[in-house]
Amino acid sequence: MSRFFLLLLVFLGAACTHRNSPEETAQYRDQFTADPFPHTGTYHWTFQLMGSPQESIHTFYADSIGYRMTGQVYATDYTMQRLSYDQQAAKWIGEDGEGVVYVLFFKEKTDSSLTIYKHKCKSGGLAEALAFARPRADETADHGWNVYSREGYTREDQLPLVGNFSNAHRRLQLSDSLVRLGERQYEKMSFHAGERRWVGQDAGEYLQVFFERLDPPDSLRVAVQTSADLMALYQTKYQAIENWERYGRD
């Protein structure tokens, strides 16, 4: 699939997204919360997609959040004006210049990082945003929770599992940079902790591994897929996985 077609899919998805109107804002205004927003500055998250680096960037202001995505696969730049912020829930709601509504949740702030969950309200707009509950700590929808580095700091997701695992059918050797499946070994292309997804390649074949958990004690459940079509793997979502396999640690 060409990059143009990928961007076309992104565009078509945006074209059918609900646009908030001034009338809707007025209708729901009494449900907004006006707590002071505590975050300032710029935070970025760097990751790999389709073998190319991407960077997601949020810049925080008292009344808005600026957002940029840079990279060869997809790029965008817009500002979300704040509608509501609930300090107790750490829940921020805003809309961009096209009326598209977003919900952001925050946690685990340190001197160098901030963990963010971002949800685009495609069908219900502001009503969807107000009803959207704080995601579970291990949620994988919307790309999950992602650790953003404060400006001046850099980090990249690393697979925290290392070791040899096997079941009655095959053996799986895990590390961040290399995964060996049977007799083949795949070099890392990307690992996305929020989606619990590792992708690698070996001589034109791609391997994708979804992990049910990233902190298993003695065994793990994974969904292993191989394909010559990298895009088909990236289009697979954690929530659609049915064929989980259990591996014990050797």
The angle at the Cα of 98, spanning 68 to 44, to the nearest 5 degrees, equals: 15
Q: Helices (DSSP H) in 120-240: which residue ranges?
A: 125-131, 230-235
> Residue 181's pLDDT is what?
95
Average pLDDT in the chain: 92
The residue extents of the domains of the chain are 3-150, 163-249
Torsion of CA 4, 142, 48, 236, to 10 degrees: -70
Residues 69 and 171: their CA atoms lie apart, in Å, by: 38
Residue 165 has pLDDT above 90, yes or no: yes
Task: Name the pTM for this structure.
Answer: 0.90
| Closest to 180 measured CA to CA, from 250, 229, 234, 236 | 250
Mean pLDDT of 24-52: 94
16-29 pLDDT, tens digit each? 789 999 999 999 99
Residue 195 has pLDDT above 90, yes or no: yes
**Helix H or strand E encompassing 98:** none
